[in-house]
Amino acid sequence: MSETGSHKDVSENLPSEHHAHGSEVAVTEDPFANPGHPAHEYRRQDIDERAAKHSERVVAGLFTLSMLGTIAFIACFVIFPVDKIVFIFPFGNVSALNFSLGLTLAVALLGIGAGAVHWARTLMSDEEIADERHRADADDELRANVEAQWIQGAKESGFGRRKLIRNTMLGALTLVPLSGLVILRDLGPLPEDKLRHTMWAKGKTLVNMNTNKPLRPEDIVVGSLTFAKPEGLEESQEDFQEQIAKAALMIVRLKPDDIKDKQEADWAHEGIVAFSKICTHVGCPISLYEQQTHHVLCPCHQSTFDLSDGARVIFGPAGHPLPQLRISVNGEGNLVALGDFAVPVGPAFWER
């Protein structure tokens, strides 16, 4: 590969008309023959030292801009107090510190990126070369050599003979990774069975998450998607977020004939099915329902579940169907649960 400083050499070697650098363009009648590299096209900077100098100055200017951006970043960090708000068109009122740090960091990174790209495109060698591949494995002689050395090394180290050292060393090497595992305990309390149980229990009424009223079968029309929570769970509760993150439900009414999964049909009430709203990938709340196909989509990573087929995963990274809640109606005509979910909701790393 030619160096940046070799512009003169390159221009001296320039052919008058056609030039295929490294290999000629193959002229052959075989339509499948390797055509080789196309003729190398020299850039202006390769043949004109003044153009090369100009590119050099542009690259240096971009790197200098980056340096100024970094200095400005540090200055802004020192100058602006955390609570200073300024009006900046078209963003409105923004934190002066955040805005200035973002802007100066962007200039610093952009300067480096743009400088590197311009350098590579205009001054670094762009000559196409073919790199021949050779066999990567060693020949038999080399392998025999290495094997002999390995055996001799093992013999000389006394690894086989000095059993006390060997066994204690193996013990030490086996135990030392435990220190890394033990400190994982500091990540927080173990979930124990908290992920396995939710607030749903036999006889708990399904309450509309928006209206806070008990849900009745006649409230659920075919094609609609309703979100529900267990009765007694109020936003004012201290553990509301923890409980709703496990108990949130999606309620959909399907035509009974559209339900393909037998257990799903048995756990439904007149075609009304209740599934966990928590995605089994990493636990985002699912919210997009396509009524023609009965598919629900998780907006986080596009996992898609078929609500007419046991909420089976039909696309995306989720590993399990959405858990279904068995429901019925009580004497007052309200939808109620017939128990808790049969399997843990959400990603459920611990149980599966």
Q: Residue numbers of the site for ligand FES (CB under 6 A)?
A: 279, 281-282, 284, 298, 300-301, 303, 316-318
Nearer to ligand FES, 253 or 295 (CB): 295
User: Closest Cα partner for 345 from 282, 298, 289?
Assistant: 282
User: Under a CB-based contact definition with an 8 Å cutoff, are residues 228 and 210 in contact?
Assistant: no
φ and ψ at residue 4, rounded to 5 degrees: -60, -35
User: Under a CB-based contact definition with an 8 Å cutoff, are residues 46 and 125 in contact?
Assistant: no
Nearer to ligand FES, 249 or 336 (CB): 249
Give the Cα separation of 345 and 243 in Å (integer): 12
Tell me how far, at minimum, the Cβ of 241 lies from ligand FES, in Å: 17
Nearer to ligand FES, 108 or 247 (CB): 247
Alpha helix (H) residue ranges in 90-236: 96-122, 140-157, 163-175, 177-183
Amino acid at 285: P
Give the Cα separation of 171 and 17 in Å (integer): 72
Burial of 151 from C-beta contacts in 10 A (0-12 / 13-18 / 19+): exposed
Nearer to ligand FES, 143 or 301 (CB): 301
Nearer to ligand FES, 163 or 301 (CB): 301
The two structure tokens encoding residue 283: 């636990």
